[in-house]
Structure 1
Amino acid sequence: MYSNKLGPLMLGLCSRKAPAACMMRSGVSWTAMCKQRSLRSVCVKTQSQTVPCHTSVRAASQTTVDPEEVRRFQSMASKWWDEEGQFAALHAMNDLRVPFIRDHLLNVHTTRHPGKPLAGLRILDVGCGGGLLTEPLGRLGASALGIDPVADSIGTARLHSSYDPDLRGRVCYRACTLEELSAEEGEGEGEGKKGPAQFDAIVASEVVEHLADLETFAFCCGLMLKPGGSLFITTINKTNLSYALGIVVAEQLLRLVPSGTHDWEKFISPEELERLLESYGFSVQSVRGMLYNPVSGAWSWTNSAAINYALHAVKVRDDAQAEQAEESSSHPAAAHT
């Protein structure tokens, strides 16, 4: 995964409430889309009109990958499946995040498959690391693709999944970035080829707090999701508490985490993340606080999202976009507020 997975372990020490150059192919269509996106004024289009939406909240660098993060996780690529090691908190997080994803998808997709509730759904796991989340999604019946820029992590994921016959033909992995994948899918448009919107759900768990550019991430997710598709994110809030625990205590005082592991400026609050996603055509459906207990090694849901939180958003359907555009055009002043 892109993000450092030791963060949730340290941030869970306190449960009190407190005040978040394209590395892709240079195809003409993708370049044009990047240029349009970098204007940062995202529009809802109909056949006869274009209606501006929110101005997005961050500048665009057009790459999601931070090279320092890639180097850091390269050194840990063989340790993903050590349940007692530095990824122990991530293994334990599956007790919350897997049901969170499953239940929200079942609310949207009503077809039932006994024993394999996510059968028939295609899910993209962004920053999959060693496949800690990709595998359980595959066991629930989903066709799951895990991607990560660290090739050695993908090697670990492939090796581990090969031991489970139930995952064959259901889980696969690629060493690539989200923008590279979306560029390839975009180049596949045309008769007899797949378009970019091919996934029923995208998962980015403990990823966004270490991305180089969240606008590129949101833009690519919008391209890759089918209309009505779900986006699931777990991450760290941007609060004084997260700075105190994740940076000062963990890195500078106790040195339990290597200095420089976290950049507090990359943390993002649920409110800011919601504004960003809405500007790229998503509607946030749910935000829930999460808490890790380092003594018991277990995660639990909490009323406070001051430290860790999980978010579920849905890509606005084409018909809903058209309705929004029609409503905005009938109230021109409202479209610019």
Structure 2
Amino acid sequence: MTTLNADPAELQKFSDLAHRWWDPASEFKPLHEINPLRLNWIDDIASLAGKDVLDIGCGGGILSEGMASLGATVTGIDLSEKALGVARLHLFESGQKVDYRLVSAEAFAEESPARFDVVTCMEMLEHVPDPASTIAACAKLVKPGGHVFFSTLNRNLKAYALAIIGAEYLLKLLPRGTHEYAKFIKPSELSRYSRNAGLTPQTLTGMNYNPLTKVYALGRNTDVNYLLHTRRET
């Protein structure tokens, strides 16, 4: 029997907030603000129109809907029933088409290997017990030569100070307890996990927040939040 790669406390945490997922002034405000950045970054690299795309850890569907709006055929998977319920309900408001499924990345990889042109796994790896297992599932789900995109948090003192002390306690951008520092992942670790799974790292990009202007931007600084583009070996 395969152990589910999920933390029940993490699932409960996001399930309790699920009804607020599409409120741009809620705890999910940062996701709404960074979504155009990460969406454009993905589209610039992979050209989403006409692609078969999988969004792992889709939550309420903010990124999933964004990719669908650019012409992708999108499947979103998550292990929170409440979040998926909110995601499905929002489709009636947005008019987008996304196939949402309650299934783990590992189980879906057994069911649909090498099915997708693009796989995204954003803001999720720092919430699972075994990120290497999730990354291996991403590699199995994407077609040879296909794209896999990750985003997560670096593990260092600056990331602790800004992502936890600053964002959760001082600026209150996120609820307290959203992140656990021990689960943060260094870019070198994420790159190693990716290579071990048969994914070749391509581009490493930082995502930074200016507390004075309250604006997020992509750049070279990967000290805190960062994104990694990989491709499956052919």
TM-score when normalising by structure 1: 0.65
For the residue of structure 1 that corresponds to 2:221, the secondary structure is coil
Q: What residue in structure 2 maps to residue 80 of structure 1? A: 21
- How far does residue 22 in structure 1 lie from its aligned partner after superposition? 2.5
- How far does residue 202 in structure 1 lie from its aligned partner after superposition? 0.7
2:206 to 286, 289, 292: 289
Q: What residue in structure 2 maps to residue 131 of structure 1? A: 61
Distance 1:247 1:85 in 2: 18
Higher relative contact order (CA 8 A, sep 6+): 1
Distance 2:45 2:63 in 1: 16
Distance 1:210 1:295 in 2: 28
What is the correspondence of 1:149-298 to structure 2 with a 5 Å cutoff? 149-165=79-95, 167-168=96-97, 171-185=98-112, 196-249=113-166, 254=170, 256=172, 259-298=176-215
Q: What CA deviation, in whole Å up to 9, does each residue of 1:141-161 have, x standing for no partner?
A: 100011110001001000101
For the residue of structure 2 that corresponds to 1:290, the secondary structure is strand
> Alpha carbons of 1:78 and 1:287: their partners in 2 closer, same or farther (altered >3 Å)?
same
Provide the alpha-carbon RMSD of the alignment.
1.9
Count matched residues. 233
What is the correspondence of 1:53-92 to structure 2 with a 5 Å cutoff? 63-92=4-33
Q: What CA deviation, in whole Å up to 9, does each residue of 1:118-154 have, x standing for no partner?
A: 3321111011111000001001110001111000100
Contact between 1:283 and 1:314, CA under 8 Å: does it hold in 2?
yes
Distance 2:44 2:166 in 1: 36
> Alpha carbons of 1:263 and 1:164: their partners in 2 closer, same or farther (altered >3 Å)?
closer
For the residue of structure 1 that corresponds to 2:32, the secondary structure is helix
Letter in 1 for 2:16: S
Structure 1 residues without counterparts, runs of 5 or longer? 1-20, 24-62, 107-117, 186-195, 318-337
Distance 2:53 2:157 in 1: 34
Structure 2 residues without counterparts, runs of 5 or longer? none
Between structure 1 and structure 2, the one with the greater Rg is 1
In terms of fraction of residues, the more strand-rich structure is 2
Q: What residue in structure 1 maps to residue 2 of structure 2? A: 22
Distance 1:101 1:70 in 2: 26
Contact between 1:93 and 1:298, CA under 8 Å: does it hold in 2?
no
Contact between 1:92 and 1:297, CA under 8 Å: does it hold in 2?
no
Q: What CA deviation, in whole Å up to 9, does each residue of 1:205-246 have, x standing for no partner?
A: 111111110121121112111001111111111111112233
Distance 2:170 2:17 in 1: 21
Distance 1:249 1:296 in 2: 15
Letter in 2 for 1:182: A
